[in-house]
Structure 1
Protein backbone atom coordinates (compact mmCIF):
# COMPACT_ATOMS: atom_id res chain seq x y z
CA UNK A 1 0.00 0.00 0.00
CA UNK A 2 2.83 2.37 0.85
CA UNK A 3 4.61 1.66 -2.43
CA UNK A 4 1.44 2.40 -4.38
CA UNK A 5 1.05 5.90 -2.90
CA UNK A 6 4.76 6.63 -3.45
CA UNK A 7 4.49 5.59 -7.10
CA UNK A 8 1.34 7.68 -7.46
CA UNK A 9 3.14 10.72 -5.99
CA UNK A 10 6.12 10.29 -8.31
CA UNK A 11 3.85 9.99 -11.35
CA UNK A 12 1.95 13.15 -10.34
CA UNK A 13 5.20 15.08 -9.86
CA UNK A 14 6.51 13.93 -13.25
CA UNK A 15 3.26 14.85 -15.02
CA UNK A 16 3.28 18.29 -13.38
CA UNK A 17 6.94 18.83 -14.32
CA UNK A 18 6.38 17.80 -17.95
CA UNK A 19 3.33 20.08 -18.15
CA UNK A 20 5.23 23.05 -16.74
CA UNK A 21 8.29 22.55 -18.92
CA UNK A 22 6.24 22.36 -22.14
CA UNK A 23 4.29 25.49 -21.13
CA UNK A 24 7.53 27.33 -20.42
CA UNK A 25 8.56 27.42 -24.08
CA UNK A 26 7.87 30.59 -26.01
CA UNK A 27 6.56 30.32 -29.55
CA UNK A 28 7.21 32.06 -32.85
CA UNK A 29 5.21 33.72 -35.58
CA UNK A 30 5.70 35.79 -38.70
CA UNK A 31 5.39 39.50 -39.33
CA UNK A 32 5.19 41.85 -42.30
CA UNK A 33 5.79 45.58 -41.84
CA UNK A 34 5.53 48.49 -44.27
CA UNK A 35 7.51 51.46 -42.94
CA UNK A 36 7.69 54.97 -44.43
CA UNK A 37 10.74 56.94 -43.24
CA UNK A 38 11.56 60.60 -43.91
CA UNK A 39 13.73 63.25 -42.35
CA UNK A 40 16.41 65.87 -42.31
CA UNK A 41 18.78 65.34 -39.31
CA UNK A 42 15.79 64.27 -37.21
CA UNK A 43 13.41 61.93 -38.94
CA UNK A 44 10.32 59.96 -38.33
CA UNK A 45 8.86 56.72 -39.47
CA UNK A 46 5.41 55.23 -39.49
CA UNK A 47 3.48 52.45 -41.05
CA UNK A 48 1.51 49.31 -40.50
CA UNK A 49 1.85 45.58 -40.56
CA UNK A 50 0.44 42.18 -39.72
CA UNK A 51 1.46 39.54 -37.17
CA UNK A 52 0.65 35.92 -38.11
CA UNK A 53 0.52 33.91 -34.87
CA UNK A 54 -1.16 30.55 -34.24
CA UNK A 55 -3.16 30.76 -37.47
CA UNK A 56 -4.59 34.22 -36.76
CA UNK A 57 -3.66 37.62 -38.21
CA UNK A 58 -3.27 40.65 -35.94
CA UNK A 59 -3.00 44.18 -37.43
CA UNK A 60 -0.06 46.27 -36.22
CA UNK A 61 0.83 49.95 -36.12
CA UNK A 62 4.41 51.19 -36.44
CA UNK A 63 5.90 54.57 -35.54
CA UNK A 64 9.11 56.09 -34.29
CA UNK A 65 11.89 58.64 -34.55
CA UNK A 66 15.41 58.70 -35.99
CA UNK A 67 18.30 60.88 -34.88
CA UNK A 68 21.66 61.32 -36.57
CA UNK A 69 22.40 61.77 -40.24
CA UNK A 70 19.00 61.36 -41.87
CA UNK A 71 18.29 62.81 -45.29
CA UNK A 72 15.48 61.92 -47.68
CA UNK A 73 12.64 59.49 -47.64
CA UNK A 74 12.05 55.80 -48.23
CA UNK A 75 9.51 53.03 -48.05
CA UNK A 76 10.52 49.59 -46.76
CA UNK A 77 8.52 46.37 -46.89
CA UNK A 78 10.00 43.91 -44.42
CA UNK A 79 9.04 40.32 -43.65
CA UNK A 80 10.40 37.88 -41.16
CA UNK A 81 10.22 35.77 -38.09
CA UNK A 82 9.09 36.79 -34.61
CA UNK A 83 10.56 34.62 -31.86
CA UNK A 84 10.24 34.37 -28.08
CA UNK A 85 6.57 35.37 -28.18
CA UNK A 86 3.95 33.99 -25.77
CA UNK A 87 0.86 35.90 -26.91
CA UNK A 88 0.18 38.49 -29.64
CA UNK A 89 0.42 41.45 -27.23
CA UNK A 90 4.09 40.57 -26.54
CA UNK A 91 5.10 42.11 -29.88
CA UNK A 92 3.93 45.54 -28.69
CA UNK A 93 6.65 47.79 -27.35
CA UNK A 94 9.69 49.87 -28.14
CA UNK A 95 12.57 48.58 -30.25
CA UNK A 96 15.92 50.36 -30.69
CA UNK A 97 18.34 50.02 -33.58
CA UNK A 98 21.32 51.72 -35.11
CA UNK A 99 21.90 51.67 -38.81
CA UNK A 100 23.56 53.19 -41.81
CA UNK A 101 22.88 53.01 -45.51
CA UNK A 102 22.16 54.71 -48.77
CA UNK A 103 19.18 54.03 -51.00
CA UNK A 104 18.92 55.57 -54.45
CA UNK A 105 15.98 53.98 -56.20
CA UNK A 106 15.79 50.57 -54.58
CA UNK A 107 17.73 48.13 -52.48
CA UNK A 108 17.53 45.47 -49.80
CA UNK A 109 17.33 45.90 -46.06
CA UNK A 110 17.73 43.58 -43.10
CA UNK A 111 17.33 44.32 -39.41
CA UNK A 112 17.32 42.49 -36.08
CA UNK A 113 15.24 44.06 -33.28
CA UNK A 114 14.47 43.09 -29.65
CA UNK A 115 12.01 44.65 -27.21
CA UNK A 116 11.97 44.70 -23.39
CA UNK A 117 9.96 41.45 -23.23
CA UNK A 118 12.69 39.65 -25.18
CA UNK A 119 10.66 39.36 -28.38
CA UNK A 120 13.03 39.25 -31.36
CA UNK A 121 12.19 40.34 -34.91
CA UNK A 122 14.43 39.10 -37.73
CA UNK A 123 13.34 41.12 -40.76
CA UNK A 124 14.48 41.42 -44.37
CA UNK A 125 12.98 42.99 -47.44
CA UNK A 126 13.11 45.75 -49.98
CA UNK A 127 13.52 49.49 -49.58
CA UNK A 128 12.71 52.17 -52.19
CA UNK A 129 13.36 55.89 -52.23
CA UNK A 130 16.15 58.42 -51.87
CA UNK A 131 17.68 58.15 -48.40
CA UNK A 132 21.06 58.48 -46.73
CA UNK A 133 21.26 57.63 -43.05
CA UNK A 134 23.66 56.88 -40.21
CA UNK A 135 21.39 57.10 -37.21
CA UNK A 136 19.87 55.67 -34.08
CA UNK A 137 16.23 54.68 -34.50
CA UNK A 138 13.43 54.08 -32.10
CA UNK A 139 10.56 51.99 -33.38
CA UNK A 140 7.31 51.42 -31.52
CA UNK A 141 5.02 48.57 -32.55
CA UNK A 142 1.46 48.29 -31.28
CA UNK A 143 -1.57 46.09 -31.82
CA UNK A 144 -4.54 47.82 -33.48
Structure 2
Protein backbone atom coordinates (compact mmCIF):
# COMPACT_ATOMS: atom_id res chain seq x y z
CA UNK A 1 0.00 0.00 0.00
CA UNK A 2 2.82 2.39 0.91
CA UNK A 3 4.61 1.57 -2.36
CA UNK A 4 1.48 2.53 -4.34
CA UNK A 5 1.29 5.88 -2.55
CA UNK A 6 4.95 6.64 -3.28
CA UNK A 7 4.48 5.56 -6.90
CA UNK A 8 1.37 7.75 -7.22
CA UNK A 9 3.21 10.80 -5.80
CA UNK A 10 6.13 10.13 -8.15
CA UNK A 11 3.84 9.95 -11.19
CA UNK A 12 2.08 13.17 -10.20
CA UNK A 13 5.43 14.93 -9.79
CA UNK A 14 6.58 13.67 -13.19
CA UNK A 15 3.33 14.85 -14.83
CA UNK A 16 3.73 18.29 -13.24
CA UNK A 17 7.33 18.52 -14.46
CA UNK A 18 6.36 17.56 -18.02
CA UNK A 19 3.54 20.14 -17.97
CA UNK A 20 5.90 22.86 -16.72
CA UNK A 21 8.47 22.06 -19.41
CA UNK A 22 5.87 22.09 -22.20
CA UNK A 23 4.42 25.42 -21.00
CA UNK A 24 7.93 26.88 -20.79
CA UNK A 25 8.57 26.09 -24.45
CA UNK A 26 5.45 27.95 -25.59
CA UNK A 27 6.03 31.45 -26.96
CA UNK A 28 4.09 34.54 -27.98
CA UNK A 29 3.77 36.25 -31.33
CA UNK A 30 1.85 39.16 -32.83
CA UNK A 31 -0.94 39.04 -35.37
CA UNK A 32 -2.80 41.43 -37.66
CA UNK A 33 -5.90 40.34 -39.56
CA UNK A 34 -8.51 41.92 -41.82
CA UNK A 35 -11.96 40.34 -42.02
CA UNK A 36 -14.80 41.28 -44.37
CA UNK A 37 -18.19 39.98 -43.20
CA UNK A 38 -21.57 40.08 -44.89
CA UNK A 39 -24.80 38.27 -44.35
CA UNK A 40 -28.52 37.93 -44.13
CA UNK A 41 -29.33 35.21 -41.52
CA UNK A 42 -26.35 33.14 -42.71
CA UNK A 43 -23.18 35.19 -42.86
CA UNK A 44 -19.80 34.63 -44.37
CA UNK A 45 -16.43 36.18 -43.75
CA UNK A 46 -13.09 36.17 -45.51
CA UNK A 47 -9.82 37.97 -45.12
CA UNK A 48 -6.10 37.78 -44.66
CA UNK A 49 -3.46 38.55 -42.12
CA UNK A 50 0.10 38.21 -40.92
CA UNK A 51 1.53 36.29 -37.97
CA UNK A 52 4.90 37.52 -36.68
CA UNK A 53 6.60 34.79 -34.66
CA UNK A 54 10.24 34.57 -33.58
CA UNK A 55 11.26 37.35 -35.96
CA UNK A 56 9.61 35.89 -39.08
CA UNK A 57 6.38 36.86 -40.84
CA UNK A 58 3.84 34.23 -41.94
CA UNK A 59 0.89 35.13 -44.22
CA UNK A 60 -2.55 33.94 -43.05
CA UNK A 61 -5.88 33.17 -44.69
CA UNK A 62 -9.07 33.94 -42.78
CA UNK A 63 -12.52 32.48 -43.41
CA UNK A 64 -15.67 31.76 -41.52
CA UNK A 65 -19.40 31.26 -41.29
CA UNK A 66 -22.04 32.52 -38.89
CA UNK A 67 -25.64 31.55 -38.26
CA UNK A 68 -28.27 33.53 -36.43
CA UNK A 69 -29.51 37.05 -36.89
CA UNK A 70 -27.02 38.77 -39.19
CA UNK A 71 -27.81 41.64 -41.52
CA UNK A 72 -25.38 43.94 -43.29
CA UNK A 73 -21.70 44.10 -44.13
CA UNK A 74 -18.56 45.21 -42.34
CA UNK A 75 -14.77 45.24 -42.46
CA UNK A 76 -12.83 44.58 -39.27
CA UNK A 77 -9.12 45.14 -38.73
CA UNK A 78 -7.70 43.48 -35.63
CA UNK A 79 -4.20 43.53 -34.12
CA UNK A 80 -2.90 41.81 -31.06
CA UNK A 81 -1.02 38.97 -29.47
CA UNK A 82 -0.98 35.22 -30.03
CA UNK A 83 -0.08 33.34 -26.86
CA UNK A 84 0.84 29.74 -26.10
CA UNK A 85 2.21 28.65 -29.50
CA UNK A 86 5.31 26.54 -30.10
CA UNK A 87 5.41 26.82 -33.90
CA UNK A 88 3.59 29.00 -36.47
CA UNK A 89 1.18 26.23 -37.46
CA UNK A 90 -0.29 26.25 -33.92
CA UNK A 91 -2.23 29.40 -34.85
CA UNK A 92 -4.09 27.46 -37.57
CA UNK A 93 -7.50 26.17 -36.57
CA UNK A 94 -11.07 27.09 -35.79
CA UNK A 95 -11.93 29.77 -33.25
CA UNK A 96 -15.62 29.65 -32.21
CA UNK A 97 -17.60 32.41 -30.57
CA UNK A 98 -21.10 33.57 -29.89
CA UNK A 99 -21.87 37.23 -29.84
CA UNK A 100 -24.07 40.20 -30.38
CA UNK A 101 -23.11 43.50 -31.89
CA UNK A 102 -23.89 46.37 -34.15
CA UNK A 103 -21.84 48.83 -36.15
CA UNK A 104 -22.96 51.93 -37.95
CA UNK A 105 -19.94 53.65 -39.41
CA UNK A 106 -17.05 52.84 -37.06
CA UNK A 107 -16.92 50.83 -33.87
CA UNK A 108 -14.32 49.30 -31.55
CA UNK A 109 -13.82 45.54 -31.28
CA UNK A 110 -12.06 43.52 -28.56
CA UNK A 111 -12.01 39.71 -28.55
CA UNK A 112 -10.18 36.80 -26.90
CA UNK A 113 -10.36 33.46 -28.75
CA UNK A 114 -8.82 30.00 -28.31
CA UNK A 115 -8.41 27.20 -30.86
CA UNK A 116 -8.00 23.44 -30.54
CA UNK A 117 -4.18 23.75 -30.41
CA UNK A 118 -4.34 25.95 -27.30
CA UNK A 119 -3.40 29.15 -29.17
CA UNK A 120 -4.93 32.21 -27.52
CA UNK A 121 -5.68 35.30 -29.63
CA UNK A 122 -6.03 38.61 -27.75
CA UNK A 123 -7.19 41.09 -30.37
CA UNK A 124 -8.45 44.64 -30.55
CA UNK A 125 -9.29 46.88 -33.45
CA UNK A 126 -11.90 48.68 -35.44
CA UNK A 127 -14.99 47.63 -37.36
CA UNK A 128 -16.42 49.72 -40.23
CA UNK A 129 -19.72 49.23 -42.00
CA UNK A 130 -23.38 48.72 -41.29
CA UNK A 131 -24.09 45.40 -39.59
CA UNK A 132 -26.31 44.04 -36.83
CA UNK A 133 -25.70 40.54 -35.51
CA UNK A 134 -26.74 38.07 -32.84
CA UNK A 135 -25.11 34.85 -33.94
CA UNK A 136 -22.82 31.90 -33.44
CA UNK A 137 -19.76 32.08 -35.61
CA UNK A 138 -16.59 30.24 -36.41
CA UNK A 139 -13.39 31.87 -37.60
CA UNK A 140 -10.82 29.69 -39.36
CA UNK A 141 -7.19 30.77 -39.60
CA UNK A 142 -4.62 28.94 -41.72
CA UNK A 143 -1.08 29.56 -42.90
CA UNK A 144 -0.86 30.35 -46.61
TMscore range, shorter length: 0.7 to 0.9
RMSD: 1.5
Deviation, structure 1 residue 101: 0.7
Deviation, structure 1 residue 76: 0.2
User: CA 1:26/1:69 → structure 2, altered by over 3 Å: closer, same or farther?
Assistant: same
- 1:74 alignment partner in structure 2: 74
SS of the residue aligned with 2:116? Answer: coil
Structure 2 gap ranges (5+): 1-16
SS of the residue aligned with 2:25? Answer: coil
Q: TM-score, normalised by structure 1?
A: 0.84
SS of the residue aligned with 1:117? Answer: coil
Alignment partners' CA distance in 1, 2:83 and 2:32: 14
- 2:91 alignment partner in structure 1: 91
User: CA 1:40/1:56 → structure 2, altered by over 3 Å: closer, same or farther?
Assistant: same
SS of the residue aligned with 1:118? Answer: coil
- 1:12 alignment partner in structure 2: none
Deviation, structure 1 residue 99: 1.2
- 2:131 alignment partner in structure 1: 131
Alignment partners' CA distance in 1, 2:82 and 2:135: 24
- 1:60 alignment partner in structure 2: 60
* Count of matched residue positions in the alignment of Structure 1 and Structure 2: 126
Deviation, structure 1 residue 24: 4.2
- 1:107 alignment partner in structure 2: 107
SS of the residue aligned with 2:90? Answer: helix
SS of the residue aligned with 2:141? Answer: strand
Deviation, structure 1 residue 23: 7.8
Alignment partners' CA distance in 2, 1:57 and 1:66: 29
- 2:14 alignment partner in structure 1: none
SS of the residue aligned with 1:84? Answer: strand
Structure 1 gap ranges (5+): 1-16
Runs of 4+ in 1 over 6 A off after TM superposition: none
- 1:43 alignment partner in structure 2: 43
